[in-house]
Amino acid sequence: MLFGIEWDTANNWVFAVSILPILLKGLVITIQATVVGFFVAAVLGLILAALKASRLRIISWPARFVTEFLRDTPLLVQVFFLYYVLPEYGIVLPAFLTGALALGVQYSAYMSEVYRAGIESVPLGQTEAARALDLSPLRQFSVIIIPQAIPRIIPAMGNYLVSIMKDVPVLSVVSILEMLNVAKIIGDRTFNYLIPLSMVGGLYLVLTLVASAIVRLVDRRLPKQGIPLR
Amino acid sequence: MEWLSYSTPLLQGAWVTVQLTIYSTILGAVAAFAFGIGKVSGNWLVKGVSICFIEIFRGTSLLVQLFWLYFALPVLGQQLGIDLRLPPVVAGTLALGLNIGAYGAEVVRGAIQAVPPAQYEAAKALDFTPRQTLWRIALPQAIPEMMPSFGNLAIQNLKDTALVSLISLGDMAFRAEQIRNFTQDSVGVYTLLLFMYFGMALVLTGIMKLLERSIGRWRAGRA
Amino acid sequence: MNDTDQQAGQPVSPADAATPNPSSPAPQADASPVCKSDLLEPGEPIIKFEKVVKRFGDVTVLDELDFEVRKGEKVTIIGPSGSGKSTVLRILMTLETINEGVIWVAGRPLWHEERNGSLAPASEEHLRDMRKEMGMVFQQFNLFPHMTVRRNITEAPVQVLGLSKEKAAERADKYLDLVGLTDHADKFPSQLSGGQQQRVAIARALAMQPNIMLFDEPTSALDPELVGEVLNVIQRLAGEHDLTMLLVTHEMQFAKQISDRVCFFDKGKIVEEGPPEQVMIEPREERTREFLKAFINPA
């Protein structure tokens, strides 16, 4: 029994049907972790990108080092690090938040690169024209550059959203009850790993296909030149 | 923080990590070319198998694949009456290699399709067979295009090896967890571990850049 | 050049096709707009298009084209873009299929095979066999960038014709000498100028020793100062070798110099054809005159 739901090991098919609702509860947690991780990554990534773009080397260089460091070290180790190290400094978070935070931190490094690439892909002529029209730097950035950068950023961010979802099972090491962890626990208790793990694989395939389709849909709906401003 | 006493087990683990990275990268490269070329093949059976492989291994989580090979496959074997228990090293290498191979296959496919059609026409005019065209004309031109992406995938593979610690394979991450259990010194061990991975990644990046440069030698020099 | 009245040549039946008969008659001028190069002796032309139709989607690029080339003849095809001139070459090189009609090369069908006495669509082996008759030089050279000049030239003879490496190297040296690039054998294409690359491309095609050489706008992609070196090579080929050559070009002056016959294509049909003096200096057809006006001062 898990999440208050019993399973039935009569035969493979009955077993599969009976654990499906349990796995779906795990799926909900997977999706929650994905969403939280994505938002943390998006926000932290923006901050990181801004730091990296600074003209002061004393700010940009450490930022670049941090980005490289995050990209070159495993998520698993980062999760353990936050899980064990944060409490030593007095920060005690529920496991879910620690895991989602670790996800967000790891992907913020990738996101910062996406922001940078998206902004750099807006033609230089746009900035020059904006400056010639005497727009303030803030307006240049927010009204001219960002709306045009967004259609180029969205597909990459969408792909990372799917990647984040595929990395959520790593959080099982801190006992977060996402889909894979749930399946493993069922397997531990029934010794039949085949059905739960295969079902999780299938559910992941469906999730990935749906998420990718949504990303493609959003990408298609978004006008290529930028967010329209009337 | 007794770094020195950590170093021996960590270095033992590091050696396992290195070996695992090498084996899975080789398997991944083979899978990448096999299924990447397969996906552009005219033979619908080969193409179908390639597409299935790529979608399955890219569409599901690596940890799911690893656990499936290590925990679920033996159960399948039981039901079929054959012994399909994989030692952690085999399960780890398989999962890592096939996973990175699926991503690599897309890189291979993209690079092959990026070879200018005019090259295929020139090859046809000289009466090369499709196989000769693929191996002698298209692939040599496609491979330098693949190298940057392969570099990223190699780093990703290195990071992914940490997951095998979860099936009790004695790599760097596993050893670190053992030490932490013993000494309760989380900050020290994990900081050291992070820097060890970082160092390995830098070395790997350097190797890939060297490879990139030596493979694309003919691209240098303009008239 | 004789001006003898001849009747239209009869379509060649499959039975005759088995024995190609190279002949070397003088080229004929013809009053009618359809190209009917007639032969003094019975024998097949080395290339024969019979009512060939080629469509790209809704557009008909070749419209029931009848076209013949004799062995050893140097034919230049001129015409506006979209008239189908490059398509003729590409079809011969088996880079494009045809929708209707039959093409004969050296007495054998190109896009068809003879099976049980009738014509069936060609199999890949048949096409591979037929390709050996032709060599092609492309507008964009299309050298293999990852191979040295020498390797570009020897690769096909070794891999396709089965020559030994030594024999292929001998051949490569011979043709490199012909195109005047012996010193560049170990360079990569990226280290050569456009004109040099095109000359290598010519050597590469020649190394397969085809009976028919196809040149698809060989100088159109070159800077003006590099055009001459390539044209010189083509001219040398035309003079020294008994090679059938089909050339698509806008270099009118050059076409006049080397051609036995010039064909003016427009909208998928041959509008006018004949010796260069006739077609290019005193064209009979209005459309030919219109086209050539853009190339005033061909003197």
| Average pLDDT estimate for B12-20 | 93
Q: Does residue A1 or residue B19 have the better pLDDT?
A: B19
Tell me the CA distances in angstroms from C1 to A174, B61, B194, C4, C247, one per residue in order. 94, 78, 87, 9, 21
Three-state SS at A224:
coil
Contact B122 C188 (CB under 8 A): no
Q: How far apart are CA B199 and CA A12, in angstroms?
A: 47
Cβ neighbours of residue C145 closer than 8 Å, sequence gap 6 or more: B141, B218, B219, C188, C189, C190
- Note the pLDDT tens digit of each residue in B49-72: 999 999 999 989 999 999 999 999
Q: How far apart are CA C216 and CA A130, in angstroms?
A: 48
Nearest chain A Cα to B164, which residue? A76
Is B211 part of any domain?
no
Structure tokens at A185: 């626990």
Residue B19 has pLDDT above 90, yes or no: yes
- Which chains reach chain B with 3 or more Cβ–Cβ distances below 8 angstroms? A, C
Residue C210 per-residue DSSP state? -
Residue type, A148: Q
The C-alpha angle A20, A21, A22, rounded to 5 degrees, equals 90
Residue reference for tokens 């709906």 = A221
- Note the pLDDT tens digit of each residue in A157-191: 888 999 999 999 999 999 899 999 999 999 998 88
> Which residues in B lie closer than 8 A to residue C131 (C-beta atoms)?
124-125, 127
CB atoms within 10 A of CB A126: 15
* % residues pLDDT > 90 (chain A): 43
Q: Which domain holds residue B23?
A: 16-171
Structure tokens at C264: 């003016």
Contact B124 C128 (CB under 8 A): no
Contact B119 C144 (CB under 8 A): yes
Q: Mutate which of B43, B120, B127 to disrupt the C interface (most C C-beta within 10 Å)?
A: B127
What is residue B46's predicted lDDT score, i.e. its pLDDT?
A: 94
Q: How far apart are CA C249 and CA C252, in angstroms?
A: 7
* Contact between residue A85 and residue B187 where contact means Cβ atoms under 8 Å apart: yes
- Note the pLDDT tens digit of each residue in B75-111: 888 888 888 899 999 999 999 999 999 999 999 999 9
Structure tokens at B204: 């790997």
* Contact between residue B97 and residue B22 where contact means Cβ atoms under 8 Å apart: no
Question: What sign for the dihedral angle of Cα A22, A9, A170, A152?
Answer: negative
What is residue C38's predicted lDDT score, i.e. its pLDDT?
A: 35
Please give the CATH topology (third level) of the domain spanning A12-221.
MetI-like fold (1.10.3720)
What is residue C297's predicted lDDT score, i.e. its pLDDT?
A: 52
Q: Write phi, then psi, for C255 (nearest 5 degrees).
A: -60, -45
Cβ neighbours of residue B176 closer than 8 Å, sequence gap 6 or more: A77, A80, B10, B13, B189, B190, B192, B193
Select the residue of B127, B137, B219 nearest C160 (Cβ to Cβ): B127
Is B201 part of any domain?
no
* pTM > 0.90: yes or no: no
> A87: pLDDT confidence band, cut at 50, 70 and 90?
confident
In whole angstroms, how large is the CA radius of gyration of chain B? 21
Here the ipTM equals 0.87
How, if at all, do strands C244-248 and C212-216 pair?
parallel
In whole angstroms, how large is the CA radius of gyration of chain C? 19
Contact A197 B68 (CB under 8 A): yes
- Residue C74's beta-bridge partner residues? C245
Q: Decide: residue B205, CB within 10 A, 0-12 exposed, 13-18 middle, 19+ buried.
A: middle
Residue reference for tokens 């990554």 = A41
Q: How far apart are CA C135 and CA B125, in angstroms?
A: 6
What is residue C273's predicted lDDT score, i.e. its pLDDT?
A: 86
> B2: pLDDT confidence band, cut at 50, 70 and 90?
low
Total domains in the fold of chain B: 1
Which ranges of chain C does DSSP label H, i.e. alpha helix? Answer: 14-17, 85-92, 124-131, 149-159, 165-179, 194-206, 224-240, 252-258, 276, 286-293
- Note the pLDDT tens digit of each residue in B99-148: 999 999 999 999 999 999 999 999 999 999 999 999 999 999 999 999 99
What is residue A130's predicted lDDT score, i.e. its pLDDT?
A: 80
Select the residue of B124, B128, B223 nearest C159 (Cβ to Cβ): B128
* Contact between residue A172 and residue A184 where contact means Cβ atoms under 8 Å apart: yes
Please indicate if any CB of chain A lies within 8 Å of the CB of B72.
Answer: yes
Q: Among candidates B65, B25, B5, B31, which has minimal Cα distance to B200?
A: B25
Cβ neighbours of residue C193 closer than 8 Å, sequence gap 6 or more: B223, C226
What is the b/e burial string over C31-67, where b = at least 16 CB atoms within 10 angstroms of the residue's CB?
eeeebbbbbeeebbbbbbbbebebeeeeeebbeebbb
Residue type, B155: I
Residue A133 has pLDDT above 90, yes or no: no
Cβ neighbours of residue B157 closer than 8 Å, sequence gap 6 or more: B21, B24, B25, B28, B96, B100
Structure tokens at C22: 């190279």
What is residue C296's predicted lDDT score, i.e. its pLDDT?
A: 61
Is B212 part of any domain?
no
In whole numbers, what is the pLDDT of chain B averaged over residues? 90
* Contact between residue C178 and residue C203 where contact means Cβ atoms under 8 Å apart: yes
Contact B140 C146 (CB under 8 A): yes
Question: What sign for the dihedral angle of Cα A178, A184, A187, A193?
Answer: positive
> Which residues in A lie closer than 8 A to residue B162 (C-beta atoms)?
74-77
Return the H-helix or E-strand segment holding C104: strand C100-105
* Contact between residue C102 and residue C44 where contact means Cβ atoms under 8 Å apart: no
Residue A111 has pLDDT above 60, yes or no: yes
- Note the pLDDT tens digit of each residue in B147-164: 999 999 999 999 999 999
What is residue A90's predicted lDDT score, i.e. its pLDDT?
A: 82
| Average pLDDT estimate for A152-160 | 87
Which ranges of chain A does DSSP label H, i.e. alpha helix? Answer: 12-52, 57-72, 75-88, 95-120, 124-132, 137-139, 146-167, 179-190, 194-221
Please indicate if any CB of chain A lies within 8 Å of the CB of B186.
Answer: yes
Please indicate if any CB of chain B lies within 8 Å of the CB of A200.
Answer: yes
Residue reference for tokens 């043709």 = C175
Q: Write phi, then psi, for B55 (nearest 5 degrees).
A: -65, -40
Q: Among candidates B18, B164, B201, which has minimal Cα distance to A72?
A: B201
The CATH number of the domain holding residue B105 is 1.10.3720.10
Give pLDDT < 70 ranges for chain C: 1-43, 240-241, 296-299
For chain C, give the number of residues. Answer: 299
Please indicate if any CB of chain A lies within 8 Å of the CB of B61.
Answer: yes
Q: How far apart are CA B221 and CA B156, in angstroms?
A: 32
- Note the pLDDT tens digit of each residue in A199-215: 999 999 999 999 989 88
